[in-house]
Amino acid sequence: MQIGFTIYPNRPDEMGPLCKHAEDLGFKHVWVGEHIVSPVENASNHPYGGRSRPPVLPSDDRFYDLWIAIAAIAAQTNKIMIGSGIYLLALRHPLSTARACLTAQHLAHGRFLFGVGIGWLAEEFEAMGVPFAERVTRFEEQIHILRNLFAGGEYAHDGQHYKFPRLQMTGPKADIPIMIGGTKGAAVRRAARIADGWYGTTIPLEDSIAIRAEILRVRAEEGHADKPFAFHARVLGAADYDNLVRYQDAGFDSASVIWDVLHPEDPRTTTLDYKLRCLEDGAKRIGINRF
């Protein structure tokens, strides 16, 4: 099993050095999260943490653009996989998303994992001019479009939400794995049907195991059991060997430790050197070279 970590909520200028050090320590992947805006007032409930108290994220120097952050990490690393965890797919047009993905994969020399989700913050959709009620149908249509664009060659589309004439985003096929997040029934079945893998959130291991079993069941029903599918779990609890080996024993391909467990202090109040030492301490507790 591979071990990774989440990089938010660190400052954008610190992400490259942190990921380079993590790569040297033996971490195999890093996940970059996002929100485009932080509504000052909102009535939306976070799907995993209950009511979200405004603002959702602080509007300070930790608030960053996902694509620029991925580019910075890719430029300063050589081996670590870089995943969007997660990208709010329905908020953008599929053509601009496809171009960003292709650029990220080129910059990372094949190390980019495209983690996507439907989103939960209605006020963010409103601010971006995208109907919140359409996010699922837009999401699924975009996945179909992206598959065709990544396949290479010419492609035209005339769908429910998007329409464009024959065009070409890439000549050769681009191998960009699409990882779908979510823990609810519909989201889990969606991942089983149309994704290359599942990217979990911070929930109890037993829940992640149940989701993994359900995805395998749905894929078997649809005749996809023999096709590759990756399971990326987010670790709940301690960042140590005893906890992480439970995920390995449960059959997960990788497990990510959230930054707040590696570094419990407010990242705005600590230095980069201290954060680097926290990564070192975390790698030792995990016994990262034992996986």
Per-residue three-class SS string for the chain? CEEEEECCCCCHHHHHHHHHHHHHHCCCEEEECCCCCCCCCCCCEECCCEECCCCCCCCCCCCCCHHHHHHHHHHHCCCCEEEECCEEHHHCCHHHHHHHHHHHHHHCCCCEEEEEECCCCHHHHHHHCCCHHHHHHHHHHHHHHHHHHHCCCEEEEECCCCEEEEEECCCCCCCCCEEEECCCHHHHHHHHHHCCEEEEEECCHHHHHHHHHHHHHHHHHCCCCCCCCEEEEECCCCCCHHHHHHHHHCCCCEEEECHHHHCCCCCCCCCHHHHHHHHHHHHHHHCHHHC
Is the pLDDT at 52 greater than 60? The verdict is no
Measure the CA–CA gap between 235 and 4, rounded to whole angstroms: 10
pLDDT-derived band at 1 (thresholds 50, 70, 90) equals very high
pLDDT-derived band at 271 (thresholds 50, 70, 90) equals very high
pLDDT-derived band at 63 (thresholds 50, 70, 90) equals confident
- Please provide the average confidence, as pLDDT, over all residues in the chain: 92
> pTM for the whole thing?
0.92
Give the pLDDT confidence score for residue 277 in this predicted structure.
97
Is the pLDDT at 49 greater than 70? The verdict is no
Tokens linked to 188: 């889990």
Give the pLDDT confidence score for residue 9 in this predicted structure.
85
Is the pLDDT at 43 greater than 70? The verdict is no
Measure the CA–CA gap between 94 and 155, rounded to whole angstroms: 13
Is the pLDDT at 59 greater than 80? The verdict is no
Is residue 272 within 8 A of residue 10, CB to CB? The reply is no
Q: How far is CA 61 from CA 14, 19, 24, 65, 119, in A?
A: 11, 18, 26, 11, 23
Give the pLDDT confidence score for residue 54 in this predicted structure.
59
Measure the CA–CA gap between 196 and 191, rounded to whole angstroms: 8
pLDDT digits (tens, 9 = 90+) for 4-30: 999 988 999 999 999 999 999 999 999
Give the pLDDT confidence score for residue 36 in this predicted structure.
85
Tell which CATH classification among 3.40.50.10310, 3.20.20.30, 3.50.50.60, 3.40.718.10 matches the domain 2-290.
3.20.20.30
Measure the CA–CA gap between 6 and 14, rounded to whole angstroms: 13
Give the pLDDT confidence score for residue 55 in this predicted structure.
59
* Percentage of the chain exceeding pLDDT 70: 92
Give the pLDDT confidence score for residue 61 in this predicted structure.
60
pLDDT-derived band at 238 (thresholds 50, 70, 90) equals very high
Is the pLDDT at 185 greater than 90? The verdict is no
Give the pLDDT confidence score for residue 41 in this predicted structure.
62
- Number of neighbours of residue 152 by Cβ within 10 angstroms: 14
Is the pLDDT at 93 greater than 60? The verdict is yes
* Percentage of the chain exceeding pLDDT 90: 81
Give the pLDDT confidence score for residue 37 in this predicted structure.
81
* Mean pLDDT (whole number) for 105-130: 94
Tokens linked to 276: 């680097």
Is the pLDDT at 38 greater than 90? The verdict is no
pLDDT digits (tens, 9 = 90+) for 259-269: 999 999 988 88
Give the pLDDT confidence score for residue 134 in this predicted structure.
97
Give the pLDDT confidence score for residue 118 in this predicted structure.
93
Measure the CA–CA gap between 28 and 94, rounded to whole angstroms: 29
Domain segments of the chain: what residues? 2-290
